[in-house]
Amino acid sequence: MINEKQLEAFDRDGAVTIDGPFSGEQIAAAADCVDQLLDRCRRDGGPDLGYRLQRTADFHDPELLDIIQHPALEQIAQKALRADEANFFTAAIAKTYPEPGKSFSFWEHVDIKYRTCDIDASPRRMICSILLWLTDVTMDRAPMMYRPGSFRVLAKHMDKNPQYIDNPQAFHDLPHLNYGNPHALLAKAGQITVCTTANIHGASVNIGTLDRKVIFMPFIPKGYPIRANMAIMDKMLKWHDELRPLLRPERRHILPELTLEAYAGAR
pLDDT of amino acid 234: 81
Nearest Cα to 178, choosing from 202, 207, 148, 205?
Answer: 148
Cis geometry, peptide bond prior to residue 123 (ω within 30 degrees of 0): yes
What pLDDT, on the 0 to 100 scale, is given for residue 48?
56
Which run of H or of E encompasses 74? helix 71-81
User: Taking the mean position of all CA atoms in its chain, how far away is CA 99?
Assistant: 23
Looking at residue 166, what is its pLDDT? 61
Phi, psi values for residue 216, rounded to 5°? -95, 130
**Is there a contact between 188 and 132 (Cβ–Cβ < 8 Å)?**
no
Q: What is the pairing mode between strands 86-88 and 183-185?
A: unpaired
For residue range 24-54, list pLDDT tens digits in order: 999 999 999 999 999 876 444 555 567 999 9
Name residues of the chain where pLDDT drops below 50: 42-44, 267
Domain 9-264 has CATH 1.10.150.120: no
Angle at 168 between CA 167 and CA 172, to 5 degrees: 135
Alpha carbons 246 and 264: distance in angstroms, whole number: 27
DSSP sequence for 19-72? E-S--HHHHHHHHHHHHHH---S-TTS-----SEEEEES----HHHHHHHT-HH
CB 113 within 8 A of CB 155: yes
Per-residue confidence (pLDDT) for residue 230, from 0 to 100: 56
Query: What does pLDDT average to over the chain?
Result: 91
What pLDDT, on the 0 to 100 scale, is given for residue 236? 87
- 62 burial via Cβ count (<10 Å: 0-12, 13-18, 19+): exposed
pTM, two decimal places = 0.93
Task: Tell me if 124 sits within 8 A of 117, measured CB to CB.
Answer: no
Distance CA 124, CA 139 (A): 32
Domain ranges of the chain: 9-264
Q: What distance in Å separates the CA atoms of residue 66 and residue 22, rounded to the nearest whole number?
A: 10
CA neighbor of 106 nearest in space, from 249, 207, 230? 207
Question: How confident is the model at residue 262, as a pLDDT?
Answer: 59
CB atoms under 10 Å from CB of 84, counted, come to: 10
